Each structure stands twice: as C-alpha cells, then as structure tokens.
Amino acid sequence: MYGQYFKRLRNYKKMTLGEAAKDITSSPALSRWENGVDDIRLKKFLALLDRVDITPREFFAYTEVQGNLDNSYYDELQLLVQQKDGQRLHQIFLRQISSFHQTKDPDILGKAVAAANSYFSLTKINCLTDADLKSFKDLLLDSEYLDFKSLRFLENSVYLIDCDLLISYNSKVIHQLSHLEQVDYELYLNAWTALTNIVFSLIQQKQNSVASHILNQLLTIDLPQQMAAFKIRIVFLKKLLAYRESGDDREINAYLKSLTEIGLSNLVSELLDYWDSVY
C-alpha cells in the first residue's frame, strides 16, 4: 500500500517514473510497486524517499493522514447504514457516479459502487446501470494481484456482484492469503474483511452450499489472536446456515449469549445485524 502513496508524492512533484527510478531501480519495477503488484527492498525504498525529498518519518506520517482521508469516506457510508439513512446514501452515490462519468476515474467509480452497495444493503434496490456495473466488474477482473485498492473495491461491492464472480474472487483471495500476510498486515485484514463479506452476500443470495464450503475452508486457517473477531464471525455464519436449514435457534442464541458474557457485546450487535438482514 505504501507504493500508492509514493506515487501521489511523485506526481505532486511532477516527477516521471524514469526520473524517480534512475540509478535506484527500473521504471517497470517502480511501477509495479506503486500499483501494489510487487514489493521493493528496504534499501531501494529509502533511496526513493530521498529522491522525492522526504524522510521516512515524514513519509509514514503522510501515509497515516492520507489513509485517514481515504477511510473517512467509507466510515461515513458505514455510519449512514447504521443510521438507516438511505436518502443520504443515494445522494452520495449520485454525486460520485456523476463525477465518474465526467472523469472516468476508476477510484471514483469504486466510491460510487461502495455507496450503491451500502444503499442496496438498506433498500435492496440496485441504483447502478448495467454499463456502470460492467465497468466496475472489468476493473475488478483487471487486478491480477490483490492490493489495498482492489480489496477495498471488493469488500464494498459484494451485494451487487453476481455469485459466479464472487466465488471466483473468493478463490483468488484465499490463494493469495499467505502472500498478503507476509507483505502487509493491513492488506491481510482487508482480505479477511472481503472474505467474510463475500460469504455473507452468498448467504443472502441463498447460495447455502457454496457458502458452507467456503466457511469450512476458512475455519481451517489459523489466525493470530488479534484477529479472533474474524474467526467469531465465521463460526457465527456457520451457525446461521445451520439455523436456516433446521429452524432451531437454540445453538445460535447460546453462542451469542456466550459472546455477551465475555464482554463482546459490540460484536454481538454486529452479528445480530447479520441475522436481521438475512431473515
């Protein structure tokens, strides 16, 4: 993810790829790093920062600020969903999709789709045109390697994507999990968010057998203690599927009660939202 922030700085300084890469790395290698396709060695990373006249401390402070700015948009969408403010979500969507039509900027398309996805979660109304949805699917399919941007696009579009593409992307994310864990912890978190969102969307679409198969896969993967909430969500979704088949809610209610008793009431509230939106 740091490559994308370096690219912003390079463009801000009106420096070409070749100028930035000269005597440090190749232009293609720099481009791959900037676009999240490949990594770069620490020595070269430090030399590149020096090339754009920024210290490592200043660079990491910059990425934190920029990351917060990027996150604020998606945080706002999440808050509006919690507030059930469909009107505001639709207004945001209209503004973003209009901007995309004018600029053809894929980042703006991703934001428009995220707003449409949030709006759909409340209203079950898809406000994207077929053409805009196709443009977004093409954008997803163009990403051979998963990076921060492609994972964010995916995790914020699952309600609008057809099952076949969700299943395909699920396999892609699982295949790259070990690599993402080694590359960047934040990327690894985004990958797990995308996976749980994919499964939940499949459950909503009543693709029970596929969802169950994916959950069984995910349950075999060891997660660090700090990511225990993902394991809890996965177990809950398994119990949700069992409840759908049997109609017996005793096991799922006992699970929620046990989570409440150990002080996870906020997570229980989130899981109840899952349950309500499915049934």
Strand, helix or coil at 52? Answer: coil
Helix 106-123 / helix 86-103 crossing angle, nearest 10 deg: 160
The dotted CATH code for 1-54 is 1.10.260.40
The two counts, helices (H) then strands (E), for the chain are 15, 0
Query: Contact 237/196 with Cβ under 8 angstroms?
Result: yes
- Identify which of 6-20, 107-121, 134-148, 221-235 has the greatest average pLDDT: 107-121
Query: Contact 43/33 with Cβ under 8 angstroms?
Result: no
Residue 254 reports pLDDT greater than 90: yes
pLDDT at 107: 84
pLDDT (tens digit per residue) in 11-26: 877 888 899 999 999 9
Query: Contact 140/169 with Cβ under 8 angstroms?
Result: yes
Torsion sign (Cα): 218, 224, 227, 229: positive
pTM of structure: 0.70
| CA neighbor of 118 nearest in space, from 178, 57, 159 | 159
Is residue 14 left, alpha or beta, with left meaning phi > 0 and alpha meaning psi from -120 to 50? left
Strand, helix or coil at 40? Answer: coil
pLDDT mean over 122-138 = 93
Strands (E), the chain: none
- CA 205, CA 214: separation in Å to the nearest integer? 15
pLDDT (tens digit per residue) in 34-86: 877 777 888 888 899 889 888 887 777 666 655 555 667 888 898 898 889 99
